[in-house]
Amino acid sequence: MKNLDKKSPFYYYVKVIKQYAVFSGRATRKEFWMFSLFNYILGFILGHADKTGLLGTVYSLFIITPFFAVTIRRLHDLGKSGWWTLILLLLIILGSILFLFGFPAIAASQYYPYLFIFILGMLAFMITMALPGNKGTNKYGENTVKLKMPQ
């Protein structure tokens, strides 16, 4: 990390990986979204790199702990408890069930309400993660964004 410039988007990906088990403190929007961007790009590349999907699966298992750690820290930045990630976990489980079993097994009329709930929940999650964090100190720590004072 010493060689990476803080202005580099990859800096935040490496930072989150190094803090893979840190569930306390706060994470900025930039840290969360830069990590997410590189995570999705790398996951897409690895998922399509081989025919079996084994690389994508291994990467997903590797990245799940850092993803939940940065998500919890981002929620802390918003002044919310990390337990809100349980809603995200339920949405991921619902989406996985729909993807794995929903298409062939459920008639379309029964499938759409669950798909609607999944999409609505993921949109709500993305909007929440895009909100600005609490200014100043909250119960999870000091603000990690240092505001520049006009001169």
Q: What are the tens digits of pLDDT across the range 29-42? A: 999 999 999 999 99
117-145 burial code (b ≥16 CB/10 A, e <16): ebeebeeebeeebeeebbeeebebeeeee
**pTM > 0.75:** yes
Residue 149 lies in a domain: no
Whether 137 and 76 have beta carbons less than 8 Å apart is answered as no
Residue 21 lies in a domain: yes
Whether 26 and 140 have beta carbons less than 8 Å apart is answered as yes
The pLDDT score that the predictor gives to residue 3 is 67
Pair (3, 71) in one structural domain:
yes
Pair (30, 98) in one structural domain:
no
The pLDDT score that the predictor gives to residue 109 is 65
- Amino acid identity for residue 150 in this structure: P
Residue 143 lies in a domain: no
pLDDT by residue, tens only, the chain of 151 residues: 566 677 777 899 999 999 999 999 999 999 999 999 999 999 888 888 888 878 888 998 999 999 999 999 999 999 999 999 998 888 888 877 777 766 555 566 676 777 788 888 889 999 999 999 998 889 999 887 765 545 5
Name the residue range of residue 38's domain. 1-79
The CA-atom distances, in angstroms, between 116 and each of 34, 98, 127 are 27, 11, 16
150: DSSP letter: P
Residue 95 lies in a domain: yes
72/81 Cα distance (integer angstroms)? 8
For residue 14, give the nearest of 25, 46, 5 by alpha carbon. 5
* Total domains in the fold of the chain: 2
The pLDDT score that the predictor gives to residue 102 is 61
27/78 Cα distance (integer angstroms)? 9
Whether 78 and 135 have beta carbons less than 8 Å apart is answered as no
